[in-house]
Structure 1
Amino acid sequence: MAIPQLQNTKPKVKMTKESPSLKGTLASVFLLGFFLMFTWISIYFLFLDRL
């Protein structure tokens, strides 16, 4: 009995373009995270102050 072999139907294409830098994305995510943490911590301390 013959064993079927899988054929690679997609041609191998080498990437010629470099992937874009994601440093700006990382910086904006960190800034947003720090802003959210600062907001939540501020609200928490405001809550504790009013108890």
Structure 2
Amino acid sequence: MAKKKHGSDVNLKGTLISVFAVGIIILVMWFAVYGLYVSR
């Protein structure tokens, strides 16, 4: 009756991983800039 779409699940997992990766990169950059600001 109700069929699961496996393709969309894979796409959503890839999107979630991409969002986390971008978020981690932004956090690392923010801490690097903050570290430079504090060291001055």
With the shorter chain as reference, the TM-score category is: 0.7 to 0.9
Normalising by structure 1, what TM-score?
0.61
Return the offset for 1:18. 1.7
The number of residue pairs the alignment matches comes to 37
Taking only aligned residues, the RMSD between alpha carbons, in angstroms, comes to 1.7
What are the ranges of 5 or more consecutive residues in structure 1 without an aligned counterpart? Answer: 1-13
Gaps of 5+ in 2: none
TM-score by length of 2: 0.76
Q: Which structure has more helix as a fraction of its residues?
A: 2
- 1:14-25 equivalence runs, <5 A: 18=5, 20-21=8-9, 22-25=12-15
* Superposed displacement of residue 16, structure 1: 5.4
| Identical-residue share of aligned pairs (%) | 38
